[in-house]
Amino acid sequence: MLPIKNIHVVVGQGDDAAMSTAVDLARRFGAHLTGLAVEEQPELTHYMDEARALVEARVAAAGERFESAARQSGIDFSAATVAVPVNGSIEEILKRCRLSDLVVIAKAQPSDHFLSELIRQLLLDSAAPLLIVPSGQEGEPNYDRAAIAWDGRPVAAHAIRSALPLLELAREVTILTVLGREESPPDSSDLTAHLARHNVTALHRYVPAVGSISDALLDFISTEGINWMTMGAFGHGRIRELIFGSPTRDMLTGASIPILMHH
């Protein structure tokens, strides 16, 4: 496990909940925080000049709020603006994030196709763990009650390694396995022992898949008051289709708490 010392946060997309979470984590871990003000640029036409000016003003204002919050918290930080043409490549964003210990980004609303695509590509191609923060998160971020979605697969283990510094902040950790109809449930003894060696005490819970896997996870989050969850970006099919597996897709759209994912 590597310590979290280099965090990136996407600003200018969604509200400021992701920014506040990133600033808080940088303060807790003594990490450098880079604020990436991501600006979607419409095509330059006579009719789009005004729309582009509005986008630039909105992103610039978000960048100023980031710098103000980072400066007030006393963390080490830097800021940059990255312009992305409509339907263009986000390679510049990916390059900046590939060496990041953690990338924080706002959860996409159903109508926000640009942010949805940005999350998809960051999961696939940045190589960094992604903490996706829903809008409307008020007050100081709370990491006390954490859940781990565990199916015994390598992608789940990979996400847990990335999440260990955050898991060490938690007061209560639940390893959550959704029982399928055909597969035998995975053993968690090695996982609980591994977590214990990092001073993380965890309880393994099994829940039935009454509906879908994501339904079971979302129901547990709601009824048990979980503050955040970590899970692998998993699914079925070819690797490029992996993060569009139903559980991952449904958690991205349905979760009301921050979700840490790693592909």
6-133 shares its CATH topology with 145-262: yes
What pLDDT, in 10s, does the model give residues 36-64? 988 777 665 555 666 667 767 777 888 89
What CATH number belongs to 145-262? 3.40.50.620
6-133, CATH topology level? Rossmann fold (3.40.50)
Query: Is pLDDT at 193 greater than 70 in this prediction?
Result: yes
Percent composition of the chain: helix, strand, coil (DSSP 3-state, to 5): 40, 25, 35
- Residue 148 CA to its chain's centroid (Å): 14
Nearest to 1, CA basis, from 236, 258, 232, 194: 194
Rounded CA separation 245/249 (Å): 6
- 30-44, 145-159, 214-228: least confidently modelled range: 30-44
Q: Which two tokens stand for residue 192?
A: 């609980």
- What CA–CA distances, in Å, run from 5 to 8, 75, 115? 10, 11, 25
pLDDT band at 246 (very low <50, low <70, confident <90, very high): low
> What is the predicted pLDDT for the residue at 50?
64
Give me the phi and psi of 96, to 5 degrees please.
-70, -30
Q: What is the pTM of this model?
A: 0.89
- The domain locations on the chain are 6-133, 145-262
Residue 243 confidence (pLDDT) above 50: no
For residue range 94-124, list pLDDT tens digits in order: 889 989 999 999 998 888 888 888 898 898 8
Q: How far is 261 from 166, CA to CA, in rounded Å?
A: 13
